[in-house]
Amino acid sequence: MKKKIIISLVSLAAICCLTFGLISAGADNSVISEEEIGAIVNTQTDTSLISSPFTEAVNQVRDSVVGINNYQTQSSSYGYGYGFGFGFGDDFGDYGRQPTERLYGTGSGVVITSYGHVLTNYHVVEGASRITVTTSADSEEHEAVMLGYDASLDIAVLQVNGLNVKPAKLGDSDALQVGEWAIVIGNPLGEKFARTVTVGIISAVDRQVTDTSYDRYYRRYTTTNTMIQVDAAINSGNSGGGMFNVLGQLMGIPARKYSSNSFIEADVDNIGMCIPINVAKPLIEEVLRGNGGGAASASPAAGNADTNESMLSKPRLGVTVTTLSSSATVRLPLGAFVREVDENGPAAEAGIRKGDVIVAVNGKTTSSSSALIGMLQGLKEGDVVTVKVYRAKGADEAIRDNTLDLNVIDPDGEYIDFEVTLRVIGNQSSFTPAEIPAA
């Protein structure tokens, strides 16, 4: 028994010695010299050895991508507004409106000339009363003006005076190949993630995309455009930015993405759509030649006209109008619907007809009959105004029993500008102040 105990003690002593030896050995190996630490930590990367098709292109164009801020002046109403479901509304909702400017939305754009021209989506600046541009050079907002736009193609060209930003070069989107790299740069979620770069491939070209939207006068319309499909990430705020090739050429304008929602049962990932740059070139050329047609659209005017005031001594267009409610925008834009035209009045002489919808006067939108009348209040006899109307086939026969029959109106129509010389018209027999204002 004692022999066994002695053997066990000897074994325990041997194990302890072995364990101590291992610990000692480990402690000795853990001592690393300063030279070895420096070799591990103080490292460098030789960028010349890195092969990437993106870095050079991104460095060329990243600063050409700018942020765009859409400010809108809107009215906060504490009055009442009513719509009676017959295609007409009334003007009581204009009472107590206080105009306030606020940041309506943000997007992206690409500088395309050394003169400060910026290409973006129309929907990024739609309805803006003021547009500003932000760059990578500073945190200031630079005032911009819209020189031209095409709402149906969803493109717009802005200009910022004195913008010191290197412009991006335009490519030829007809030369795009399925499978080549697509580099997308924009401002998703605003300046917080300014000039974010995402990369993918060209998934398809010549995709037919159909959209239902509203023009600046709130008429609903459907368009079908040819777009480029990419799988690079496109998020809210990327709209209007750039889709570049590996040469740093601007090939497309990111415009939208598909996502899973209640209207699409299947899961959707990485399907983004870009407007081909060749589609935008005619508008760009037109603007650069000085023929840009569009102007920054202001918020719809909310004129507070006193329709009970006698207008016998006021210059008029010579029309009797009714406000169109938003329910009529399926076929007509929102505006002042012309119920009657004085036979020998200025509007009739200019060519305005019954059934026309007056949507703007001198470039300012007229969303209601009271807004139209308010615009005329400060004018005098002999003043010449530009009146924009929307003319739809069948609209002159649309009023039946004091209601608007939308079914007789052909949804296809056209916008027409008329030059009208205002004058005083004595016969006001058709004017009913509380219901159908005369203008």
Q: Which residues are catalytic?
A: 123, 154, 239
Residue the block writes with tokens 């740059």 = 277
| SS3 of the chain: helix, strand, coil, percent, to 5 | 25, 35, 40
Residue the block writes with tokens 């368009």 = 223
DSSP letter for each residue of 39-88: HHHS----GGG---SSHHHHHHHGGGEEEEEEEEEEEE--S---B-SSSB
The dihedrals phi and psi of 23, each to the nearest 5 degrees, come to -60, -40
**226 three-state secondary structure:** strand
- The first and second tokens of residue 157, run together, are 């060209």
Q: Which residues contact residue 155 at a Cβ distance below 8 angstroms, ignoring those fewer than 6 apart?
A: 119, 120, 121, 122, 149, 253, 275, 279, 280, 283
List, in sequence order, every residue forming a beta bridge with 385; answer none if it has no partner: 420
Q: Which residues contact residue 272 at a Cβ distance below 8 angstroms, ignoring those fewer than 6 apart?
A: 184, 200, 229, 230, 231, 232, 233, 234, 254, 256, 257, 258
Q: Which residues contact residue 274 at a Cβ distance below 8 angstroms, ignoring those fewer than 6 apart?
A: 182, 184, 227, 228, 229, 230, 243, 251, 252, 253, 254, 255
The dihedrals phi and psi of 11, each to the nearest 5 degrees, come to -65, -40
Rg (CA), the chain: 33
Class of residue 35 by CB neighbours under 10 A (exposed 0-12, middle 13-18, buried 19+): exposed
